[in-house]
Structure 1
Amino acid sequence: MTGALDADRYAGHLIRRAEQVHTSLWSKFVSETVTSQQFAVLDALRKGPGVDQSTVARLTSPDRSTAHHIVRLLTEQHYVSRTRDLSDRRRTLLALTAEGRTLHASLAPDAERINDELLAVFPGERRGEVLQILARISQR
């Protein structure tokens, strides 16, 4: 029988704790109403308007049902518009509305700030490496 895991050496535990720190900072400094996942969708649409929901899901990493829920919520709040793709009527294209662009612009500086704060625990020359490691883990 194996002994208990050392939580400080267990990647899943540390990732979960890091996410808790991120969520706390997000609520305190960015928004108590717009989640970081919702912001990720807004940001993806700011970078690439006119993409479909599957593309948004792939870019922001939630599963398809979570992406659908977030897009529906942001649409109901008038931050995202949906239009049928004229060349493929099965696809719905998404874009930020004027309100969505304003919301994104109001949140982006503070989102950058907490990102910088999270990375500040690493020496400057290691921050890129940390982001690469996190990206590799998130692509599994």
Structure 2
Amino acid sequence: MSRALDLDRYAGHLIRRAEQVHTSLWSKFVSETVTSQQFAVLNVVRDREGSDQSTVAQLTSLDRSTAHHIVRRLSDQNYLSRTQDPADRRRTLLALTDEGRQLHAALTPAAERINDELLAVFPYEEWDKVMRVLSRLAQRRPLRTGGTA
């Protein structure tokens, strides 16, 4: 017979709880209408103007379908422009519109503040170590299961 897991020592449960804390802080202090995933897309495009949609998906760790949905929504709201790459018509190149630049600029200070708020549960001297641990976890590739590639 199996025993119950101690959820306070179960990494997946704690990661989910940490995400709930982040989402709550995001909604309260950054935006109730722009999600952190949407902000991540804006941020990557701000940093790499003219990137194609697949690159943005990769850099934001979003699957292609989710990235496509977010890009479509942000372009419908006139925060992103989409243009076909003249060299490869299959690629969609992304850029921030003026409204997108203004939105990114408005949200960035609050996003930085909640990052500091999340890390504030640790002594400041440990912040770099915590970020290295989180980065290492985020780099973990999912396990492949039964016959899928």
TM-score range, shorter chain: over 0.9
What is the RMSD computed on CA atoms of the aligned residues? 0.8
2:37 maps to 37
Count residues in correspondence.
140
- Structure 2 counterparts to residues 1-140 of structure 1, below 5 A: 1-140=1-140
Q: TM-score, structure 1 length as denominator?
A: 0.97
Q: Secondary structure at the match of 1:69?
A: helix
Q: Which runs of 5+ in 1 are unaligned?
A: none
Partner SS for 1:51: coil
Greater helix content? 1
Superposed displacement of residue 111, structure 1:
0.4
Q: Deviations over 1:48-82 (max 9, x none)?
A: 01001110111111111110100000010000001
Q: Offset of 1:118 from its aligned partner?
A: 0.3
Corresponding letter in the other structure for 2:22: H
Percent of residue pairs bearing the same amino acid type? 74
Q: Secondary structure at the match of 1:89?
A: strand
In structure 2, give the amino acid aligned to 1:53. Q
Aligned counterparts of 1:31 and 1:128: Cα–Cα separation in 2: 26
Gap regions ≥5 residues in structure 2: 141-149
TM-score (norm 2): 0.92
